Structures are given as C-alpha cells and as structure tokens.
C-alpha cells in the first residue's frame, strides 16, 4: 500500500509541476490555456476562471495543460501557433525547466539538513579499504586512536593523514581494528569508502545546503547525460533502462527507508523527466523545440500538419520503447 500511495503522489507531483511550467509561462505571455487538469479520465470537479477550465479527474496518474493552437492551426491571436517563435520556445521549454527548478530546491533543502555519518555505505572494489577488509555497514569510531563521530571530519582526517591508518570499527556489536594504507588519487589520500548520509533538522545550514545541492544537482544531471551517451553509443543496452514498473519499485523501496530518501528520489525523477523531455525526439518538448529553432534560423515555419505527422511517428516509437522496457521490468519481478 505504501508503494502505491507514494508512487501516486510522486507521479502526480512530477507531472503536475511539468504541466504547471507550461501553464504559467503561457499565461504570462498571453497564450490561451483551455484546460489545466489534475488527474486523467472522467471529471470529478471543474471550474472555469479567466478563460481556463480547471478540472479534477478520477485517475490520480498525472495531468495535462491544454493550450489553444498547440496541435492545430488557429486564427485566435492568443493561440500558441500565432505567437512569435521565442514565445513558443519559452512555453515549450518551461515544463522541463520547472522540473529542474523543483529538483534543485528539493536538493538544497535536503542537503541543508544532511550530515555525513561514519557508517560505511559502500566499499569500492580493489580499494585500500576493500583489500583491508572494511565492509558495508561498518561504523568507523576511531582513526589512530582518536575518536570520530562526524563523517566529514573523518574524510578530512584521512586526507591529512600520514602513513598507515589504524581504523577502529564496530561490526555486529563487536569492535575491530583494521590497518589501512590510503592511496593517493589526484593528490588526495583516499581509502575507497562512501559514508551514509543522515538527515536531521538540527543540522540545518542553508549555505551548506546550497553548495551541496548545486554539486548534487550537477552530478545527477551529468550522470544522466553520460548514461544517455552510453545508450546511444551502444555501451549500454536497454537492460539498464527502467520503465514505469521499475520506477514504482524504486519509489516503494525509497518510501520504506525514510522520507529523506523519498525526497531525494523525487528530485532525481524530476531531473530525469527534465533531461528526457529535452531530448531532440519528435513528440517530446525537445523535438518541438527543434522545429521552432529551425524556424528561427531559416525564417520559415513548417506546417503544423507536417510537424504533427512527424510527432505522431515519434510518439509511436516512444510508446513502443516504453512497452518493451515495461515488459522487461515485469519479467524482472518474477
């Protein structure tokens, strides 16, 4: 049940913030928004205000923003198709940008209350720590006889150390001392471990959160583009891609481990949707943006009918890809 509820909330937030981006930029530029819907399917509630129908629908699986003149020719001066290329480009890109903004804010807030603990969350294979026998789950309590309780100070101590380290750990309620020889990587002494993040409002620091949030946002975005590059060049197959079923599974796992992990996953999914939507593929916002950029460069607009056919082909291919990935995810469940 927690997986279902968490998945519904996250999918709603991710899609609605995306559609709200299109909505607010369209409104700001005088483009008519015919309907802004929360959910899909039959209407439960609707209200019209300033020319826009706001509706709540029965299926809580997303939503949409219907713009006048988005997919068809329209004579209205307020329709999207009659706006300048720059206005249309801003409206099209606003959805993905809003996903990035939400992810950025979430990461800053999350990192503002985070601290690095001394619990080992990961040991890098063939690293000094791996060779010495340090394991995931070990709690490092001392270095060379000095007690440590803060992960960042622990990492700093490793960087500034000289020679071998006598590391005291607690494993399965038993104390152990392990000798580790740090390795120099890019002029920094490392032992090859990552530490568990802890989240507590007592740790709140907006300055620290902004710095760590920026770094985390850039790292996650860069990682996604690297992943896409490996897919395109054939270094990775579709086995590494998750569809809706795989995402629901990850949401369920995150929900069971705490609110902080769920918020982090929400930020990551927003970045994922933003990056994916900006790909220059027909039917996606990135594909629509390409047509507008071509118009801006060559001064000639492709007819909406021709563009519509191209987007239809892109949509069919995307749906086929989603179906393949979903089948793969379902098979993994058994």
Assess whether 103 and 151 both reside in one domain: no
Question: For residues 105, 111, 112 and 117, what is the CA-based torsion angle, rounded to 10 degrees?
Answer: 170
Look at residue 239 and tell me if it is in a domain. no
Look at residue 324 and tell me if it is in a domain. yes
* Structure confidence at residue 221 (pLDDT): 92
d(CA 296, CA 299): 5
Place of tokens 């104390």: 175
Domains contained in the chain, number? 2
Q: What is the CATH number of the domain that holds 126?
A: 2.30.42.10
Residue ranges of the chain whose pLDDT lies below 50: none
Q: Which of 167, 184, 199 is the last residue of a domain?
A: 199
Beta strands 165-171 and 174-180 are: antiparallel
Query: Does the annotation mark 73 as catalytic?
Result: no
Q: What percent of the chain has pLDDT over 90?
A: 29
Look at residue 88 and tell me if it is in a domain. yes
pLDDT tens figures, 57-88: 888 877 889 898 887 777 788 888 889 999 99
* Structure confidence at residue 243 (pLDDT): 67
Assess whether 33 and 177 both reside in one domain: no
* Structure confidence at residue 22 (pLDDT): 94
Assess whether 252 and 103 both reside in one domain: yes
Look at residue 233 and tell me if it is in a domain. no
Assess whether 17 and 106 both reside in one domain: yes
Q: Which of 199, 224, 254 is the last residue of a domain?
A: 199
Look at residue 226 and tell me if it is in a domain. no
Look at residue 36 and tell me if it is in a domain. yes
Whether pTM exceeds 0.85: no
Look at residue 100 and tell me if it is in a domain. yes
Token digits for 326?
């979903």
Q: What is the DSSP letter of 302?
A: P
Assess whether 103 and 131 both reside in one domain: no
Assess whether 66 and 163 both reside in one domain: no
Assess whether 64 and 27 both reside in one domain: yes
The residues with which 178 forms a beta bridge, in sequence order, are: 167
Assess whether 192 and 101 both reside in one domain: no
pLDDT tens figures, 256-280: 777 888 888 899 999 999 999 999 9
Assess whether 107 and 122 both reside in one domain: no
Assess whether 50 and 24 both reside in one domain: yes
* Structure confidence at residue 163 (pLDDT): 79
Assess whether 163 and 188 both reside in one domain: yes
The residues with which 52 forms a beta bridge, in sequence order, are: 49
Please tell me which residue in 19, 68, 70, 197 is annotated as part of the active site. Answer: 19
* Structure confidence at residue 238 (pLDDT): 63
Q: Which of 199, 229, 257 is the last residue of a domain?
A: 199
Assess whether 68 and 136 both reside in one domain: no
The pair phi, psi for residue 136, each rounded to 5°, is -60, 135
The residues with which 33 forms a beta bridge, in sequence order, are: 67
Look at residue 267 and tell me if it is in a domain. yes
The b/e string for 187-219 (b: 16+ C-beta within 10 A; e otherwise) is eebbbbbebbbebeeeeeeeebbbebbeebbee
Q: Which domain holds residue 173?
A: 116-199
């Amino acid at each position: 049940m927690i997986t279902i509820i968490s998945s519904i909330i996250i999918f709603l937030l991710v899609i609605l913030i995306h559609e709200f981006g299109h909505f607010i930029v369209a409104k700001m530029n005088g483009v008519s928004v015919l309907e802004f819907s929360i959910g899909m399917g039959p209407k439960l509630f609707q209200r019209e205000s300033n020319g826009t129908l706001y509706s709540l629908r029965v299926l809580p699986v997303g939503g949409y923003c219907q713009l006048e003149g988005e997919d068809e020719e329209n004579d209205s001066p307020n329709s999207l198709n009659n706006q300048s290329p720059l206005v249309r480009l801003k409206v099209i890109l606003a959805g993905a940008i809003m996903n990035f903004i939400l992810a950025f804010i979430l990461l800053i807030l999350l990192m503002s209350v985070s601290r690095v603990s001394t619990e080992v969350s990961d040991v890098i294979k063939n690293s000094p720590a791996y060779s010495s026998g340090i394991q995931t789950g070990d709690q490092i309590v001392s270095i060379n006889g000095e007690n440590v309780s803060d992960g960042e100070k622990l990492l700093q101590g490793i960087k500034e150390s000289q020679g071998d380290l006598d590391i005291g750990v607690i494993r399965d309620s038993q104390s152990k001392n392990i000798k580790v020889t740090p390795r120099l990587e890019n002029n920094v002494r490392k032992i090859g471990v990552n530490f568990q993040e802890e989240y507590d409002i007592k740790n709140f620091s907006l300055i620290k959160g902004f710095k760590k949030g920026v770094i985390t946002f850039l790292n996650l975005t860069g990682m996604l583009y690297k992943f896409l590059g490996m897919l395109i060049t054939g270094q990775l197959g579709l086995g590494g891609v998750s569809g809706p079923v795989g995402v629901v599974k990850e949401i369920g796992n995150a929900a069971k481990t705490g609110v902080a992990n769920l918020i982090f996953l929400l930020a990551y999914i927003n970045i994922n949707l933003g990056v994916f939507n900006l790909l220059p593929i027909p039917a996606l916002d990135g594909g629509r943006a390409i047509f507008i950029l071509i118009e801006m460069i060559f001064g000639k607009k492709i007819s909406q009918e021709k563009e519509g056919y191209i987007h239809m082909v892109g949509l069919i291919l995307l749906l086929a890809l989603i179906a393949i990935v979903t089948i793969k995810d379902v098979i993994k469940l058994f």
